[in-house]
Protein backbone atom coordinates (compact mmCIF):
# COMPACT_ATOMS: atom_id res chain seq x y z
CA UNK A 1 0.00 0.00 0.00
CA UNK A 2 1.27 3.45 -0.86
CA UNK A 3 0.05 6.48 1.02
CA UNK A 4 1.23 10.07 0.76
CA UNK A 5 1.40 11.99 4.02
CA UNK A 6 0.95 15.72 4.62
CA UNK A 7 4.66 16.37 4.07
CA UNK A 8 4.22 15.54 0.37
CA UNK A 9 1.85 18.47 -0.07
CA UNK A 10 4.15 20.88 1.71
CA UNK A 11 7.26 19.79 -0.21
CA UNK A 12 5.69 19.65 -3.65
CA UNK A 13 6.49 22.45 -6.06
CA UNK A 14 3.55 22.57 -8.43
CA UNK A 15 4.52 23.06 -12.08
CA UNK A 16 2.94 26.15 -13.64
CA UNK A 17 1.70 23.99 -16.52
CA UNK A 18 -0.60 22.00 -14.23
CA UNK A 19 -4.32 22.80 -14.59
CA UNK A 20 -6.15 24.96 -12.07
CA UNK A 21 -8.92 22.50 -11.40
CA UNK A 22 -10.33 19.08 -12.16
CA UNK A 23 -13.75 17.47 -12.57
CA UNK A 24 -13.58 13.81 -11.62
CA UNK A 25 -16.42 12.14 -13.49
CA UNK A 26 -18.15 8.80 -13.62
CA UNK A 27 -21.15 7.88 -15.74
CA UNK A 28 -23.14 4.67 -15.71
CA UNK A 29 -24.73 3.72 -19.02
CA UNK A 30 -27.17 1.41 -20.76
CA UNK A 31 -24.23 -0.19 -22.56
CA UNK A 32 -20.97 0.53 -24.31
CA UNK A 33 -22.05 1.21 -27.90
CA UNK A 34 -22.59 4.55 -29.65
CA UNK A 35 -26.38 4.32 -29.36
CA UNK A 36 -26.26 3.69 -25.59
CA UNK A 37 -27.29 6.34 -23.07
CA UNK A 38 -26.26 7.66 -19.67
CA UNK A 39 -28.39 6.52 -16.72
CA UNK A 40 -26.49 8.30 -13.93
CA UNK A 41 -23.66 10.79 -13.60
CA UNK A 42 -21.47 12.11 -10.81
CA UNK A 43 -18.86 14.86 -10.60
CA UNK A 44 -16.34 15.62 -7.87
CA UNK A 45 -14.81 19.06 -8.37
CA UNK A 46 -11.20 19.35 -7.21
CA UNK A 47 -8.82 22.28 -6.92
CA UNK A 48 -5.34 22.41 -8.46
CA UNK A 49 -3.88 20.27 -5.64
CA UNK A 50 -6.62 17.67 -5.87
CA UNK A 51 -8.60 18.77 -2.82
CA UNK A 52 -12.37 18.19 -3.01
CA UNK A 53 -14.45 21.33 -3.44
CA UNK A 54 -17.87 19.74 -3.85
CA UNK A 55 -19.70 16.85 -5.47
CA UNK A 56 -22.88 16.26 -7.45
CA UNK A 57 -24.93 13.26 -8.56
CA UNK A 58 -28.01 12.68 -10.68
CA UNK A 59 -30.02 9.91 -12.23
CA UNK A 60 -30.86 10.30 -15.91
CA UNK A 61 -33.84 8.86 -17.77
CA UNK A 62 -32.29 7.19 -20.85
CA UNK A 63 -35.65 6.92 -22.65
CA UNK A 64 -34.93 3.27 -23.37
CA UNK A 65 -34.15 -0.03 -21.66
CA UNK A 66 -31.69 0.61 -18.78
CA UNK A 67 -29.38 -2.14 -19.94
CA UNK A 68 -27.22 -4.10 -17.45
CA UNK A 69 -29.23 -3.63 -14.25
CA UNK A 70 -27.09 -6.36 -12.68
CA UNK A 71 -24.12 -3.98 -12.99
CA UNK A 72 -25.42 -0.49 -12.17
CA UNK A 73 -28.54 -1.51 -10.22
CA UNK A 74 -30.81 1.05 -11.89
CA UNK A 75 -34.16 -0.32 -13.08
CA UNK A 76 -36.72 1.23 -15.42
CA UNK A 77 -38.95 2.01 -12.43
CA UNK A 78 -36.11 3.89 -10.72
CA UNK A 79 -35.36 5.92 -13.84
CA UNK A 80 -38.84 6.69 -15.19
CA UNK A 81 -39.22 9.91 -13.17
CA UNK A 82 -35.57 10.95 -13.47
CA UNK A 83 -34.73 14.05 -15.54
CA UNK A 84 -33.76 13.69 -19.19
CA UNK A 85 -30.18 14.48 -20.09
CA UNK A 86 -31.21 17.74 -21.75
CA UNK A 87 -32.72 18.80 -18.43
CA UNK A 88 -29.48 18.33 -16.49
CA UNK A 89 -27.12 19.36 -19.30
CA UNK A 90 -26.76 22.91 -17.99
CA UNK A 91 -25.92 21.96 -14.41
CA UNK A 92 -23.59 19.21 -15.61
CA UNK A 93 -21.85 21.71 -17.88
CA UNK A 94 -21.42 24.16 -15.01
CA UNK A 95 -19.50 21.55 -13.07
CA UNK A 96 -17.26 20.65 -16.00
CA UNK A 97 -16.53 24.18 -17.22
CA UNK A 98 -12.88 25.33 -17.19
CA UNK A 99 -11.71 22.07 -15.65
CA UNK A 100 -9.86 19.00 -16.85
CA UNK A 101 -12.22 16.02 -17.03
CA UNK A 102 -10.69 13.14 -15.06
CA UNK A 103 -12.04 9.62 -15.42
CA UNK A 104 -10.94 6.00 -15.32
CA UNK A 105 -10.77 4.98 -18.99
CA UNK A 106 -11.60 8.60 -19.79
CA UNK A 107 -12.18 8.08 -23.51
CA UNK A 108 -15.34 6.10 -22.71
CA UNK A 109 -16.83 8.64 -20.29
CA UNK A 110 -15.96 11.52 -22.59
CA UNK A 111 -17.48 9.90 -25.67
CA UNK A 112 -20.71 9.10 -23.82
CA UNK A 113 -20.91 12.68 -22.50
CA UNK A 114 -20.10 14.21 -25.90
CA UNK A 115 -22.81 12.13 -27.58
CA UNK A 116 -25.42 13.10 -24.99
CA UNK A 117 -24.64 16.78 -25.49
CA UNK A 118 -24.81 16.32 -29.26
CA UNK A 119 -28.25 14.74 -28.93
CA UNK A 120 -29.33 17.69 -26.77
CA UNK A 121 -27.95 20.05 -29.46
CA UNK A 122 -25.56 21.54 -26.93
CA UNK A 123 -21.79 21.48 -26.43
CA UNK A 124 -19.96 20.05 -23.43
CA UNK A 125 -17.53 22.67 -22.04
CA UNK A 126 -14.61 20.23 -21.85
CA UNK A 127 -11.34 20.98 -23.58
CA UNK A 128 -8.99 18.47 -21.95
CA UNK A 129 -9.27 15.09 -20.30
CA UNK A 130 -6.98 12.99 -18.15
CA UNK A 131 -7.27 9.21 -17.92
CA UNK A 132 -6.20 7.79 -14.56
CA UNK A 133 -5.20 4.54 -16.28
CA UNK A 134 -2.73 6.51 -18.40
CA UNK A 135 -1.53 8.44 -15.34
CA UNK A 136 -0.92 5.23 -13.38
CA UNK A 137 1.23 4.01 -16.27
CA UNK A 138 3.19 7.28 -16.33
CA UNK A 139 3.81 6.85 -12.58
CA UNK A 140 4.78 3.17 -13.01
CA UNK A 141 2.41 2.17 -10.22
CA UNK A 142 2.78 -1.54 -9.37
CA UNK A 143 -0.84 -2.46 -10.14
CA UNK A 144 -1.93 -6.03 -11.01
CA UNK A 145 -4.35 -4.65 -13.62
CA UNK A 146 -5.99 -1.39 -14.65
CA UNK A 147 -9.26 -1.80 -12.76
CA UNK A 148 -10.46 1.04 -10.54
CA UNK A 149 -10.53 -1.32 -7.57
CA UNK A 150 -6.81 -2.01 -8.00
CA UNK A 151 -5.97 1.70 -8.14
CA UNK A 152 -8.13 2.27 -5.07
CA UNK A 153 -6.49 -0.58 -3.15
CA UNK A 154 -3.02 0.77 -3.97
CA UNK A 155 -3.84 4.07 -2.27
CA UNK A 156 -5.89 2.53 0.55
CA UNK A 157 -9.21 3.90 -0.68
CA UNK A 158 -12.23 1.86 0.39
CA UNK A 159 -14.84 1.28 -2.30
CA UNK A 160 -18.36 0.99 -0.90
CA UNK A 161 -20.64 0.65 -3.95
CA UNK A 162 -18.87 -0.39 -7.13
CA UNK A 163 -20.59 0.79 -10.35
CA UNK A 164 -22.54 3.45 -8.47
CA UNK A 165 -21.53 6.68 -10.20
CA UNK A 166 -21.23 8.77 -7.02
CA UNK A 167 -19.12 6.22 -5.14
CA UNK A 168 -16.95 5.44 -8.17
CA UNK A 169 -16.30 9.18 -8.61
CA UNK A 170 -15.47 9.52 -4.90
CA UNK A 171 -13.06 6.60 -5.03
CA UNK A 172 -11.40 7.98 -8.14
CA UNK A 173 -11.11 11.47 -6.62
CA UNK A 174 -9.43 10.04 -3.52
CA UNK A 175 -7.03 7.96 -5.62
CA UNK A 176 -6.34 10.81 -8.04
CA UNK A 177 -5.13 13.22 -5.36
CA UNK A 178 -2.04 11.19 -4.33
CA UNK A 179 -1.41 10.35 -7.98
CA UNK A 180 -1.45 14.06 -8.82
CA UNK A 181 0.93 14.82 -5.94
CA UNK A 182 3.30 12.05 -6.99
CA UNK A 183 3.35 13.37 -10.56
CA UNK A 184 4.10 16.91 -9.40
CA UNK A 185 6.75 15.75 -6.93
CA UNK A 186 8.56 13.60 -9.49
CA UNK A 187 8.16 15.92 -12.45
CA UNK A 188 5.95 13.47 -14.35
CA UNK A 189 3.94 15.06 -17.12
CA UNK A 190 0.19 14.73 -16.92
CA UNK A 191 -1.17 12.70 -19.89
CA UNK A 192 -3.62 15.39 -20.97
CA UNK A 193 -5.53 14.91 -24.20
CA UNK A 194 -7.63 17.39 -26.13
CA UNK A 195 -11.41 16.90 -26.16
CA UNK A 196 -13.29 17.85 -29.30
CA UNK A 197 -17.06 18.20 -28.85
CA UNK A 198 -19.14 16.60 -31.58
CA UNK A 199 -20.36 19.08 -34.18
CA UNK A 200 -21.99 16.43 -36.34
CA UNK A 201 -23.90 13.48 -34.98
CA UNK A 202 -26.25 10.82 -36.30
CA UNK A 203 -28.25 8.51 -34.07
CA UNK A 204 -28.02 4.84 -34.90
CA UNK A 205 -31.02 3.37 -36.67
CA UNK A 206 -30.69 0.25 -34.54
CA UNK A 207 -33.38 -0.09 -31.89
CA UNK A 208 -31.97 -1.76 -28.76
CA UNK A 209 -33.82 -4.93 -27.82
CA UNK A 210 -35.21 -5.07 -24.32
CA UNK A 211 -33.03 -7.15 -22.03
CA UNK A 212 -30.34 -7.69 -24.65
CA UNK A 213 -27.02 -5.89 -24.45
CA UNK A 214 -24.90 -6.86 -27.43
CA UNK A 215 -22.32 -4.24 -26.48
CA UNK A 216 -21.34 -6.26 -23.40
CA UNK A 217 -20.83 -9.54 -25.23
CA UNK A 218 -17.53 -8.65 -26.84
CA UNK A 219 -15.82 -7.44 -23.68
CA UNK A 220 -14.38 -4.32 -25.36
CA UNK A 221 -15.19 -0.67 -24.89
CA UNK A 222 -15.93 -0.14 -28.57
CA UNK A 223 -17.78 -3.04 -30.22
CA UNK A 224 -16.34 -4.04 -33.57
CA UNK A 225 -18.40 -3.05 -36.57
CA UNK A 226 -18.24 -5.39 -39.53
CA UNK A 227 -17.86 -3.64 -42.86
CA UNK A 228 -17.65 -5.16 -46.33
CA UNK A 229 -14.10 -5.83 -47.47
CA UNK A 230 -12.56 -3.00 -49.51
CA UNK A 231 -12.67 -4.13 -53.15
CA UNK A 232 -9.55 -2.18 -54.15
CA UNK A 233 -5.89 -3.14 -53.62
CA UNK A 234 -3.76 -0.99 -51.35
CA UNK A 235 -1.89 1.50 -53.58
CA UNK A 236 0.56 2.40 -50.80
CA UNK A 237 1.11 5.48 -48.69
CA UNK A 238 -0.51 8.85 -49.08
CA UNK A 239 1.80 11.52 -50.50
CA UNK A 240 1.45 15.18 -49.57
CA UNK A 241 0.15 17.22 -52.47
CA UNK A 242 -1.49 14.23 -54.14
CA UNK A 243 -5.06 12.95 -53.73
CA UNK A 244 -6.13 9.95 -51.73
CA UNK A 245 -6.54 6.87 -53.88
CA UNK A 246 -9.15 4.14 -53.54
CA UNK A 247 -7.85 1.19 -51.56
CA UNK A 248 -5.66 3.25 -49.23
CA UNK A 249 -5.64 2.04 -45.61
CA UNK A 250 -6.82 4.84 -43.30
CA UNK A 251 -6.48 4.73 -39.51
CA UNK A 252 -8.01 7.18 -37.01
CA UNK A 253 -6.78 8.19 -33.54
CA UNK A 254 -8.24 10.47 -30.89
CA UNK A 255 -11.27 12.75 -30.87
CA UNK A 256 -12.92 14.08 -33.99
CA UNK A 257 -15.52 16.81 -34.36
CA UNK A 258 -17.53 14.63 -36.73
CA UNK A 259 -18.57 11.41 -35.00
CA UNK A 260 -15.96 8.77 -35.77
CA UNK A 261 -18.30 6.28 -37.38
CA UNK A 262 -19.65 8.94 -39.73
CA UNK A 263 -16.11 9.74 -40.85
CA UNK A 264 -15.38 6.05 -41.33
CA UNK A 265 -18.61 5.57 -43.31
CA UNK A 266 -17.67 8.42 -45.63
CA UNK A 267 -14.20 6.98 -46.12
CA UNK A 268 -15.64 3.56 -46.98
CA UNK A 269 -18.12 5.13 -49.41
CA UNK A 270 -15.16 6.80 -51.14
CA UNK A 271 -13.49 3.42 -51.63
CA UNK A 272 -10.98 3.59 -48.76
CA UNK A 273 -10.12 0.81 -46.31
CA UNK A 274 -10.56 1.45 -42.57
CA UNK A 275 -7.62 0.11 -40.57
CA UNK A 276 -8.18 -0.56 -36.88
CA UNK A 277 -4.46 -0.32 -36.12
CA UNK A 278 -1.32 1.20 -37.62
CA UNK A 279 1.19 -0.99 -39.44
CA UNK A 280 3.79 -0.57 -42.18
CA UNK A 281 0.93 -1.01 -44.67
CA UNK A 282 -1.11 1.92 -43.31
CA UNK A 283 -1.46 4.66 -45.91
CA UNK A 284 -2.48 7.50 -43.61
CA UNK A 285 -3.22 8.26 -39.95
CA UNK A 286 -5.91 10.86 -39.23
CA UNK A 287 -5.56 12.56 -35.84
CA UNK A 288 -6.14 15.99 -34.36
CA UNK A 289 -3.49 15.37 -31.70
CA UNK A 290 -0.35 14.07 -33.45
CA UNK A 291 1.81 14.69 -30.36
CA UNK A 292 -0.23 12.40 -28.13
CA UNK A 293 1.35 9.15 -27.01
CA UNK A 294 -1.39 6.83 -28.22
CA UNK A 295 -0.28 3.48 -29.65
CA UNK A 296 -1.34 4.57 -33.13
CA UNK A 297 0.58 7.86 -33.11
CA UNK A 298 3.66 6.18 -31.66
CA UNK A 299 3.57 3.49 -34.34
CA UNK A 300 2.94 6.05 -37.08
CA UNK A 301 6.08 7.92 -36.06
CA UNK A 302 8.15 4.73 -35.93
CA UNK A 303 6.93 3.60 -39.37
CA UNK A 304 7.04 7.05 -40.96
CA UNK A 305 3.32 6.86 -41.69
CA UNK A 306 1.90 10.15 -43.06
CA UNK A 307 -0.35 12.04 -40.62
CA UNK A 308 -3.07 14.63 -41.33
CA UNK A 309 -5.73 16.26 -39.15
CA UNK A 310 -9.49 15.87 -39.49
CA UNK A 311 -9.97 19.07 -41.48
CA UNK A 312 -7.34 18.09 -44.05
CA UNK A 313 -8.78 14.58 -44.33
CA UNK A 314 -12.27 15.96 -44.89
CA UNK A 315 -10.91 18.05 -47.77
CA UNK A 316 -9.09 15.05 -49.24
CA UNK A 317 -12.30 12.97 -49.11
CA UNK A 318 -13.89 15.34 -51.62
CA UNK A 319 -11.64 14.13 -54.42
CA UNK A 320 -10.49 10.52 -54.02
CA UNK A 321 -8.74 9.17 -57.10
CA UNK A 322 -10.01 5.95 -58.67
CA UNK A 323 -8.09 2.75 -58.08
CA UNK A 324 -5.63 1.69 -60.74
CA UNK A 325 -7.18 -0.26 -63.53
Q: Which of 26, 29, 111 is nearest to 68 (CA)?
A: 29
Cross-strand partners of 284: 250
pLDDT in tens, 137-155: 999 999 999 999 999 999 9
pLDDT value of position 33: 83
pLDDT value of position 292: 83
Give the H/E segment covering residue 88. Answer: helix 85-96
Buried b (16+ CB within 10 A) or exposed e, 187-226: ebebbbbebbbbeeeeeeeeebeeeebebeeeeeebeeee
Q: Which of 108, 44, 40 is nearest to 68 (CA)?
A: 40
CA angle 173, 174, 180 (to 5 degrees): 75
Residue 228 DSSP SS3: coil
Give pLDDT < 70 ranges for the chain: 1-17, 204-226, 325
Dihedral of CA atoms 312, 290, 177, 106 in degrees, nearest 10, equals 50
- C-alpha to C-alpha distance for 299 and 308, rounded to whole angstroms: 15
pLDDT value of position 92: 98
Give the H/E segment covering residue 166. Answer: helix 165-186
Close Cβ partners of 256 (under 8 Å, ≥ 6 residues apart): 196, 263, 286, 288, 310
Looking at residue 290, the DSSP 8-state letter turns out to be T
- C-alpha to C-alpha distance for 129 and 126, rounded to whole angstroms: 8
Residue 134 DSSP SS3: helix
pLDDT value of position 71: 93
The answer to whether the beta carbons of residues 178 and 156 sit under 8 Å apart is no
pLDDT in tens, 88-127: 999 999 999 999 999 999 999 999 999 999 999 999 999 9
CA distances from 34 to 59, 109, 115, 261 (A): 20, 12, 8, 9
CA angle 287, 288, 293 (to 5 degrees): 70
Residue 90 exposed, middle or buried by CB count within 10 Å (0-12, 13-18, 19+): exposed
Amino acid sequence: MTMLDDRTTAETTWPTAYPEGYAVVDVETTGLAREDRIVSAAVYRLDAQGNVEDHWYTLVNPQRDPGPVWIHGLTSDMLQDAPLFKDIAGEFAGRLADRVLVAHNAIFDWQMIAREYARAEETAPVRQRLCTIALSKELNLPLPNHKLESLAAHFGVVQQRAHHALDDARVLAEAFRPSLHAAARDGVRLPLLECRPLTEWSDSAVTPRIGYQSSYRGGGWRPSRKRPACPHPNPGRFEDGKPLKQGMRIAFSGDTSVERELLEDRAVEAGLHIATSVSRLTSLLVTNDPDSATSKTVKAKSFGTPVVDEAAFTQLLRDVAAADG
